[in-house]
Structure 1
């Protein structure tokens, strides 16, 4: 795999600078009738539409429009460069009525610019379901100086990553499921070198991860850190990306790369690429998303009847640490530009999605996608997949209903262990101690700091920069706004502590 490694290393710079443009837009609906028309910009989530439908013409959007009295024009920018496209749209002079972003720094940047509409009064008048279903912690995340500048969509799950491995490969090589980081290393090395698929070729990886260091959470957790988190040290919050523990985690991942254990193409691995490697049998151990058992892993089992996948304990590092990152309460932010005159209609639109419309947008239409059989949810998989695009709209104002979550996951097939996967993750979460609204300095500096971190960490793992580059990164991070962010985060930390005292 040396050739692949050289190709991946040469391509890293391309990955960092590549961008794309263009939009996928719904039709321009006329506003000839009395219902208000709102223009929204949403995340496509990578979904496609059935033949004859698009973002502006489909039964789920029609369902929302009929029940709210609001007409909706939808634009779905490309996923690559999504927030950059939102920047262009916001500064166009004629912004839409609603934009959805998952980036806290994007959100706070436009709060800083005083470009967003305060929504307090509109929520009070038109947002009864939003008020009832969104917890105060989420509202706190979108409130600045007493003004609510976004309607939050909630994270349905508390964490996403879980270790999975092929038991048939373990059995063939006489290996037990790993627990410690040393045992993990031995298993991954064997998977890379000992032909676990028996085809006589060295074409399997010990471990594969995603671009931008995706799917590394359990390995970082073994060293006591997670990406983009803040931890308490000596009474203050410290950014995990500059902690010595992160340096040790990068050193470990680099050692896997140097031993040809880590997939050398990782800087180029988008999710579909990694999924293909799993489905085709080139990967036998990786940090899966909790839902992968019914996607990539299921695809592999379909191709190879002998493939048997099992969940693993999270790797335990030299200091006894283990765990995975916890998701933030807020999944995404729905903002209304100050220039919009349709804030009331936007809130009505989102209130329906969070309230009466949520079941149909989450599960699909009853008797078409699902039905009740002996009290249990029975889902038509073909229709479930065909109607998957409904999530584009439902995700705009997602709320959490644990009973519906379990019902839905069991209905998708208990053999996929979806609910069990979430329970296993929930028991191993590493909590980010900063859960306040993004700070002003984050709006100014977070994008460039995230890019600096991503590039530096990738180069270190791929052997393009020595591990000592981490120390230079720490200084750059601090000087380029990190110290300013740290000051604001700790100011929030002190105020939170004061309020918690009786």
Structure 2
């Protein structure tokens, strides 16, 4: 388990970094004017030299001489110095980088409404790219309007390029269908049915090795997930969301004519009781607080857990091929996505983070960076990370590119989606094998079914000035208390007391009023 002392040290480091931001911001703002006088993007014919920081899900990131990187550089007339940062530590690394003042030319901001980035935006430390978007056809036309709308800052402007994601492909439950079949279980459609499945996965040896050594849900709770899924993150948050019927922090109450904060909803308490019971019965990892995303994924990949929360597109990229090495009988169609739970599945916000440009970058170079991303979105360029290099990663068969997933993974092809991604591509379900094609057809069918019932975050993009001040500390309190209750360190009555305190907090009331006002204004009420 994660020790309290380490947690406090981590929080202290974060607080120090935030405090440092204010002085850094002023220097960044000053650098903008100075940079525009003394430098530019260089000669337009010369390769654009650009530093980039973003996430990588890979244990070993792409090297500087990576063959796919070099091909993209040639196609975009650029020279990229990419700093790849593990998912596990990106939140901490981002805060430290923002506080240092040594900010890359293009930086992935995983939460455009986080307090540190928001403060720096207000101080003018990042470019407002709103007036420039129309000049780049792929940026303006290739990224969905919902992504631009839900990433606008409080002043209505965009301070970064959204990294687009399909609204129908959000992370949700994926279950081992072969385990269900082996134990004569039906695909769960409610949280009660899911609880029964998890219990059987723990008690009845689903992997057939004769040992009671499996858990059910590859879950974790991390400080990196503050603000997401009720501060429980993607896995346990998906269960809580299924109880309340939304992936938003707010729910509209028609009788009161206002937005209600999710933590006040009675379903949150029901979810906590459910998760507490599940944890006490071994349905999720005992070391819930010390695990990271990659470690939770490993449980599923090593045949030790039967349920994860992720996107269907992660099947071969992250899980299935590794699983086959451990369990040769595993088939791609056993990576089985649930359509709904309690009639709910989440509609995505249309984005996953934004790419921001610090104001210290001169205007001409800023424009060339926008052009870089725009050019990268052209089909012939984006296909480099889709298919790789002919003869190395793919062959042309009957006029179609047939790629080797293994070779693309070895060269970190999908990592480049964490810089530039294109989502309006036709879904060709054809795989390298009949087995993969069948799985892709299953995933396409599930996403079509999900689209009929998916629920959007109704508060996406709405902001509260009071919320910006109080939410960082409030989110920590919520996560800490929920974790203690789930682990049995605090009674459920502690949640009741916390909710009552929250109701009487004037700052909380002000935040609720501001969010309601913003919601009504956006919806013309």
Bucket of the pairwise TM-score, normalised by the shorter protein: 0.7 to 0.9
Q: 2:496 aligns with which of 449, 462, 471?
A: 471
Could you give the per-residue CA deviations for residues 316-350 of structure 1, whole angstroms, max 9, x where no partner exists? 5xxxx332333222212122222221311221111
| Pair 104,244 (structure 1): closer, same or farther in 2 beyond 3 Å | farther
| Pair 67,441 (structure 1): closer, same or farther in 2 beyond 3 Å | farther
The aligned runs of 1:24-39 (5 Å cut-off) are: 34-39=46-51
Asked whether the 8 Å contact 2:175–2:306 carries over to 1, the reply is yes
Q: 2:403 aligns with which of 357, 365, 379?
A: 379
Asked whether the 8 Å contact 1:369–1:380 carries over to 2, the reply is yes
Q: For 1:15 and 1:425, how far apart are their aligned partners in 2?
A: 38
Asked whether the 8 Å contact 2:248–2:458 carries over to 1, the reply is no
What displacement does 1:154 show?
0.8
Asked whether the 8 Å contact 2:53–2:83 carries over to 1, the reply is yes
Which residue does 2:262 correspond to in 1? 240
Which residue does 2:354 correspond to in 1? 333
Asked if residue 43 in structure 1 is aligned to residue 55 in structure 2, the reply is: yes
TM-score, normalised by the number of residues in structure 1: 0.81
Q: For 2:100 and 2:213, how far apart are their aligned partners in 1?
A: 49
Which residue does 1:486 correspond to in 2? 512
Q: For 1:312 and 1:87, how far apart are their aligned partners in 2?
A: 34
Gaps of 5+ in 2: 15-41, 223-231
| Pair 200,398 (structure 1): closer, same or farther in 2 beyond 3 Å | closer
Which residue does 1:136 correspond to in 2? 145
- What CA RMSD, in Å, does the superposition of the two structures yield over aligned residues? 3.4
Q: For 2:68 and 2:186, how far apart are their aligned partners in 1?
A: 48
Gaps of 5+ in 1: 1-7, 22-30
Asked whether the 8 Å contact 2:464–2:511 carries over to 1, the reply is yes
SS in structure 1 of the partner of residue 80 of structure 2: strand
Q: For 2:143 and 2:337, how far apart are their aligned partners in 1?
A: 34
| Pair 18,301 (structure 1): closer, same or farther in 2 beyond 3 Å | farther
**Number of matched residues?**
470
Which residue does 1:3 correspond to in 2? none
Which residue does 1:364 correspond to in 2? 388
SS in structure 1 of the partner of residue 217 of structure 2: coil
Which residue does 1:277 correspond to in 2? 299
What displacement does 1:178 show?
3.6
TM-score, normalised by the number of residues in structure 2: 0.77
Q: For 1:255 and 1:14, how far apart are their aligned partners in 2?
A: 27
Could you give the per-residue CA deviations for residues 115-169 of structure 1, whole angstroms, max 9, x where no partner exists? 22222344344x2321121233322234443533212121135343444444554
Q: For 1:313 and 1:391, how far apart are their aligned partners in 2?
A: 24
What displacement does 1:231 show?
1.9
Asked whether the 8 Å contact 1:160–1:422 carries over to 2, the reply is no
Which residue does 2:215 correspond to in 1? 205
Asked whether the 8 Å contact 2:247–2:457 carries over to 1, the reply is no
Q: For 2:277 and 2:489, how far apart are their aligned partners in 1?
A: 13
